[in-house]
Amino acid sequence: MIRICFVCLGNICRSTMAEFIFKDLVRKEGLEKDFLIESRGVIADVGSDIHPGTKKMLDKHNIPYSKHIATQLEKNDYEKYDYFIGMDNYNIISMKKIFGTDKKIYKLLDFTNKSKEIDDPWYTHNFTITYDDVDKGCRALLKHIKCKDK
């Protein structure tokens, strides 16, 4: 089983968007049994649900999602997952501090041909651009994992 944890700042916008997009991609490929997919935040808005802007984008693209409770990333999460996928440089730096290593840590768009940070829509209020970037990154990540598994 491949265990993936998507990580952003508060675990209510980008990481949850990635979690549910990736779950949908995996489901459409018939690979649900091969993956554990969750999300966390480096400074989580603990207990909060998915941001309404994220829900709106998931609904727009017919991506199913379930009730979510924002959860903070902790040191003991390191052994639970094979991949920690951050959205921006701050997420990457924070994960390295939490875990004390950079093994298993990646930036989502590093799997695409255009490595960059994914803007936080909490600040930009532009969930469309964020959705497009997260979707591209998730598709590229799944392709990477499938190629690696061959």
Q: What is the pLDDT along the chain (150 residues), one digit of tens a residue?
A: 999 999 999 999 999 999 999 999 999 999 999 999 999 999 978 899 999 999 999 999 999 999 999 999 999 999 999 999 999 999 999 999 999 999 999 999 999 998 899 999 999 999 999 999 999 999 999 999 998 765
* List of residues 6+ apart from 19 with CB closer than 8 A: 6, 37, 38, 39
Domains, in order of start, for the chain: 2-149 (3.40.50.2300)
pTM: 0.96
Out of 120, 133, 135, 138, which one is annotated catalytic?
120
Out of 5, 8, 13, 138, which one is annotated catalytic?
8
For residue 43, count CB atoms less than 10 angstroms from its CB and return exposed for 0-12, middle for 13-18, buried for 19 or more. middle
> Is 14 one of the catalytic residues?
yes
Q: ∠ at Cα 31 (27, 37), nearest 5°?
A: 75
Out of 5, 13, 14, 40, which one is annotated catalytic?
14
Q: How many CB atoms lie within 10 A of CB 27?
A: 12
* Amino acid (1-letter code) at residue 133: D
> Is 13 one of the catalytic residues?
no
> Is 139 one of the catalytic residues?
no
Q: Report CA 100 to chain centroid distance, whole Å.
A: 20
